[in-house]
Chain A
Amino acid sequence: MSHGESPITRRRMLGDATRYVALGGIGSLSAWLFYKQSGQAAAACPSSGSTCDECSQAAGCRLPRIWQLDPNRCIACGRCQTNCVLDLSAVKAVNCFALCGYCDNCTGYFPTKDYVLDTGAENQLCPTGAIARKYIEKQGGVPYFEYTIDESLCIACGKCVVGCRLMNGSLYLQVRHDRCLNCNECSIAVACPAEAFRRVLVDSPRLLSRAAQAAEEALARKRGASTNPPATRKSSIERKEEAS
Chain B
Amino acid sequence: MPLVLMLLLFAVEQAVYAADLFPTPEFSNHPIPQSQTPAPRPSWQEYLDLAFLTAALAAASFLAVKGRSRTGLFLLSIVSLAWLGFWRKGCVCPIGAIQNVAQALFDKDYAAGGMVIAVFVLPLVFTLFFGRSFCASVCPLGAVQELVAVRPVQIPTWIDHALGLLAYIYLGAAALFAATGSAWIICRYDPFVGLFRLTSSAAMLALSVGFLGVGLFIGRPYCRWLCPYGAILALLSRVSWRHLKIPPKQCVQCRLCEDACPYGAILRPTVVLSPVERMAARRRLIVVLCAAPLLIATGALLGFGMRSSLANMHPTVQLAEQIRLEETGWVKTRSDATEAFRGTGESVESLSASADKVLEKFGLGGCLFGGWVGLVFAVKVTQLSLRRRRTDYEPDRSACVSCGRCLWYCPEEHPRQEFIQIQSIYNMP
Contact = CB atoms under 8 A, between A and B. Distances in A.
B235 to A, nearest CB: 8
Measured as residues with beta carbon below 8 angstroms from the partner, the interface class of chain A is 35 or more
A177 B38 CA distance: 7
Interface in A84-116: 85-87, 94-103, 105, 107, 112, 115
A181 B91 contact: yes
Given A96-B35, A181-B197, A183-B91, A19 B114 contact: no
A74 to B, nearest CB: 9
Contacts of A22: 128, 236, 239
Given A37-B113, A193-B340, A18 B91 contact: no
Given A194-B341, A205-B40, 19 more contacts: A1-B242, A18-B239, A19-B241, A30-B117, A65-B113, A73-B340, A75-B340, A75-B343, A105-B1, A167-B12, A177-B38, A181-B197, A183-B89, A184-B99, A190-B188, A195-B340, A206-B37, A211-B17, A219-B32
A129 B46 CA distance: 36
A103 B100 CA distance: 46
Interface size class of B (residues with CB under 8 A): 35 or more
Report, nearest first, the 3 A-B pairs whose CB atoms are least far apart: A101-B22, A194-B340, A193-B337
A101 B336 contact: no
Given A40-B111, A101-B24, A215 B38 contact: no
Interface string B33-51: 1110111110100100000
A62 interface: yes
B287 interface: no
Contacts of B116: 184
Contacts of A52: none
Contacts of B21: 101, 167-168
B22 A19 contact: no
Contact of A100 (B24, B43, B194): B24
Nearest to A62: B114
Tell me if A's interface is mostly helix, strand, loop or mixed: loop
B104 A102 contact: no
Interface stretch (B2-10, B205-213, B301-309, B363-371): B2-10
28 contacts: A22-B239, A23-B125, A26-B121, A30-B121, A33-B104, A33-B111, A33-B112, A36-B112, A37-B112, A37-B114, A37-B117, A65-B113, A73-B340, A85-B200, A86-B199, A87-B199, A100-B24, A103-B22, A115-B5, A166-B8, A169-B19, A176-B38, A181-B197, A184-B97, A190-B183, A195-B340, A210-B17, A219-B32
A214 B17 CA distance: 11
Contacts of A190: 183, 188
Q: For A139, A146, A168, A219, which residue has the most chain B Cβ atoms within 10 angstroms?
A: A168
Given A86-B199, A97-B34, A137 B239 contact: no
B329 interface: no
A77 B336 contact: yes
B28 interface: yes
Given A94-B35, A206-B37, A219-B32, A167 B340 contact: no
B383 to A, nearest CB: 15
A66 interface: yes
Contact of B117 (A34, A178, A211): A34
A136 interface: yes
A96 B33 CA distance: 9
B337 A215 contact: no
B19 A214 contact: yes
Interface of A: 1, 3, 15-16, 18-19, 22-23, 26, 29-30, 33-34, 36-37, 39-40, 62-66, 73, 75, 77, 79, 85-87, 94-103, 105, 107, 112, 115, 117, 136-137, 139, 144, 146, 148, 166-169, 174, 176-185, 187, 190, 193-195, 202, 205-206, 210-211, 214-215, 219, 229-230
B256 interface: no
B96 interface: yes
A112 B343 CA distance: 22
Contacts of B40: 66, 177-178, 180, 202, 205
Contacts of A77: 336, 340
B96 A185 contact: yes
B156 to A, nearest CB: 29
Contacts of B96: 184-185
Contacts of B97: 184
Contacts of A180: 40
Given A19-B128, A202-B43, A137 B99 contact: no
Contact of A137 (B28, B121, B339): B28
A117 B2 CA distance: 11
